[in-house]
Amino acid sequence: MINEWQSRPLDRVYPIVYLDAINFKVRKDNRIVNKAAYSVLGINMAGQKDILGIWIGK
């Protein structure tokens, strides 16, 4: 299902795009480090919302 979602066709134009992030703490090599999860939401010409991508920052 993930591969299907990642390869879905997107609209050519999204007049409104929101970029958001949430910070959280994770354990890495016995240390606690901060990470950010980014999400991009686009609203197409018909007013429908579509998640354009989700990424985890370094």
Q: Look up the pTM and report it.
A: 0.75
Helix (H, G, I), strand (E, B) or coil at 4: helix
CB-facing half-sphere around the CA of 29: CA atoms within 13 A: 2
Each residue of 13-24: pLDDT tens digit? 999 999 999 999
pLDDT in tens, the chain (58 residues): 889 988 999 999 999 999 999 999 999 899 999 999 999 999 999 999 999 999 998 7
- Quote the domain boundaries for residue 19: 2-56
CA dist 46 and 42 (Å) reads: 11
Count of domains for the chain: 1
